[in-house]
């Protein structure tokens, strides 16, 4: 297999190992129980364990649970239970989580979200349940003014003072086309660039990768170098509604790897697909901005992007993960992952940039795998996110936001960085290989300007890319294509 083809197969997956280095204590053993304050005894957990426990409790208790979040300080899962339901509280505590009594039920929160959808589907708006406040957080970008703002504000007020919170974003919601390991395509409007998310095996056994749906809608044939020959073809693309694409490698013998490229030759091993949990720390890798980290702030988010194809129209995407991790054009489709190797999301869009910050949204990997029938990495594991993972990343790197300079000990497969990756980055790794959390964010249309921060044709995502993301000035709400 040509080296360049191996590079795209590996690069999107390499970043996880390096990200784990950012939090030296995150992989420490958490087997003992610890007091959880007024609610009794709760287990200390890793973020992935908390996510798995939250999913199990949600399945068993249904709407009796009004959301949950990960208390990263105490490393405990906090589960919201409607006040007065002592039986549910007892079950939550028995499972090892903290039971927190709240006023708003899941049914009431869903009804409020339905009202927002009916009355306030306005380009430049988003909403998601914030379990930490037990309210819906509604956000309006800088384009929502005048009558649109008045309409949104009155709708939020009609929900009641204890049901929703309204906030303003300084930027504009948009898709961010660019990426972890950059991938390129040509359209009638010019060149576009996105990011490879995670390598997967398609349901028919073909090697493939996941990226953003708005990237797959924009172009069918993708290359691993600017103006290069196509090496992969879109098989499925969903946008709007969802935001994921399954792209199959043209060479059926391509060997994919379950790693993420963290930059500077560093890689992170991906071990499973994982559902996001509010409060947990996550990492995003993008070809424009490198490696960045932050927290999950909301789940099941709805985002109303201004349509790129229908003047005055709205492209609504549902079921997204909301975070405060920064992103810029060229990062769309890139990987969002956890320190212990969980593939969490594909970069969709947001507002702001990596100078001023902002809100970002991600397509859940678990939903994309279920919809496409694909499995992570080389197909060695299932698409689900269950199971306890010990985390293979080294615990030595410093904490904080890194632009691609992960510690050398994170290197999983001896990847040399920009485009010269031999494909040996542990291809046997387990199923949930989230490759590039940085997603290619082009700022919307398939215009040539979407290639801000475009590396010099290598597309390997070394993490040391000088692109400044000029297509995204933070003034509009965009997707990450």
What pLDDT was estimated at residue 336?
96
What pLDDT was estimated at residue 379?
52
The SS3 call for residue 282 is strand
- The CATH number assigned to the domain with range 1-22+122-481 reads 2.40.10.120
What is the set of active-site residues? 214, 243, 332
d(CA 231, CA 224): 7
CATH 3.10.450 for domain 33-102, yes or no, is: no
pLDDT in single tens digits along all 481 residues of the chain: 343 333 343 333 333 233 333 333 333 333 333 333 334 578 999 888 898 899 999 899 988 999 999 998 999 999 999 877 788 999 999 999 999 999 999 999 999 999 999 999 999 999 999 999 999 999 999 999 999 999 999 999 999 989 999 999 877 886 653 223 588 998 887 888 899 999 999 999 999 999 999 999 999 999 988 888 999 999 999 999 999 999 999 999 888 788 888 777 788 889 999 999 999 999 999 878 889 999 999 999 999 999 878 888 999 999 999 999 999 888 899 999 998 889 999 999 998 899 988 899 999 999 999 999 999 976 543 333 333 333 333 323 333 333 333 333 333 333 333 333 333 333 333 333 333 333 333 333 333 233 333 333 333 333 333 333 333 323 234 444 5
Structure-token pair, residue 468: 């400044």
Provide the β-strand partners of residue 201.
207, 375
CATH topology identical between 1-22+122-481 and 33-102: no
Largest CA distance in the chain: 63
What pLDDT was estimated at residue 311?
86
Backbone angles phi, psi at 111, to 5 degrees: -65, -40
d(CA 304, CA 312): 12
259 touches 17 (CB < 8 A):
yes
- CB burial of 143-181 (b: ≥16 within 10 Å; e: otherwise) equals bbeeebbeebeebbeebeeebbebeebebbbbbbbbbbb
Tell me how many helices (H) and strands (E) the chain has. Answer: 8, 28
Measured between alpha carbons, how far is residue 62 from residues 94, 101, 337, 353 in Å? 16, 16, 26, 37
What pLDDT was estimated at residue 234?
97
Task: Single out the residue of 438, 437, 136, 68 nearest to residue 301, CA to CA.
Answer: 136
Task: Single out the residue of 373, 383, 312 nearest to residue 343, CA to CA.
Answer: 383
The helix or strand, by DSSP H or E, that contains position 218, with its residue range, turns out to be helix 213-218
Residue pointed to by tokens 């972890």 = 180
User: Whole-model pTM?
Assistant: 0.68
Q: Domain residue spans in the chain?
A: 1-22+122-481, 33-102
What pLDDT was estimated at residue 119?
95
d(CA 433, CA 377): 5
353 DSSP assignment: B
Q: Residue 240: is the preceding peptide bond cis (ω within 30°)?
A: yes
The SS3 call for residue 457 is coil
Provide the β-strand partners of residue 432.
none
């Amino acid at each position: 297999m040509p080296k360049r083809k191996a590079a795209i197969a590996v690069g999107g997956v390499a970043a996880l190992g390096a990200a784990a280095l950012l939090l030296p204590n995150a992989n420490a053993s958490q087997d003992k129980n610890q007091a959880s304050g007024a609610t009794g005894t709760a287990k200390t957990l890793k973020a992935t364990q908390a996510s798995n426990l939250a999913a199990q409790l949600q399945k068993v208790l249904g709407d009796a649970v009004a959301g949950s979040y990960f208390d990263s300080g105490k490393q405990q899962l906090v589960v919201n239970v409607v006040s007065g339901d002592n039986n549910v509280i007892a079950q939550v505590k028995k499972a090892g989580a903290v039971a927190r009594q709240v006023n708003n039920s899941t049914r009431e929160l869903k009804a409020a979200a339905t009202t927002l959808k009916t009355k306030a589907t306005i380009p430049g708006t988003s909403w998601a349940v914030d379990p930490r406040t037990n309210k819906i957080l509604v956000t309006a970008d800088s384009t929502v003014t005048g009558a649109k703002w008045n309409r949104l504000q009155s709708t939020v007020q009609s929900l009641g003072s204890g049901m929703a919170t309204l906030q303003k974003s300084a930027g504009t919601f948009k898709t961010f086309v660019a990426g972890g390991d950059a991938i390129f395509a040509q359209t009638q409007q010019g060149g576009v660039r996105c990011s490879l998310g995670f390598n997967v095996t398609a349901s028919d056994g073909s090697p493939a990768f996941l990226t953003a749906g708005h990237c797959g809608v924009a172009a069918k044939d993708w290359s691993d170098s600017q103006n290069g020959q196509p090496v992969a073809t879109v098989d499925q693309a969903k946008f709007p509604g969802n935001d994921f694409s399954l792209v199959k490698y043209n060479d059926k013998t391509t060997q994919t790897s379950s790693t993420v490229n963290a930059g500077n030759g560093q890689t992170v091993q991906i071990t499973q697909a994982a559902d996001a949990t509010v409060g947990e720390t996550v990492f995003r890798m993008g070809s424009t901005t490198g490696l960045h980290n932050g927290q999950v702030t909301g789940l099941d988010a709805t985002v109303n992007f201004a349509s790129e194809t229908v003047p005055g129209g709205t492209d609504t995407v549902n079921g997204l993960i909301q975070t405060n991790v920064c992103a810029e054009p060229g990062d769309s489709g890139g990987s969002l992952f956890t320190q212990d190797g969980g593939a969490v999301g594909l970069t969709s869009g947001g507002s702001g940039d990596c100078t001023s910050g902002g809100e970002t949204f991600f397509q859940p990997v678990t939903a994309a795998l279920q919809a496409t029938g694909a499995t992570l990495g080389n197909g060695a594991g299932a698409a689900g996110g269950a199971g306890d993972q010990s985390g293979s990343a080294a615990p030595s790197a410093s904490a904080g936001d890194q632009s691609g300079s992960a510690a050398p000990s994170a290197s999983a497969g001896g990847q040399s960085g920009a485009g010269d990756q031999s494909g040996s980055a542990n291809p046997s790794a387990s199923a949930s290989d989230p490759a590039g959390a940085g997603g290619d964010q082009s700022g919307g249309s398939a215009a040539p300007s979407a290639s801000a921060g475009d590396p010099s044709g290598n597309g390997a995502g070394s993490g040391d890319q000088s692109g400044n993301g000029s297509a995204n000035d933070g003034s509009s709400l965009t997707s990450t294509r």
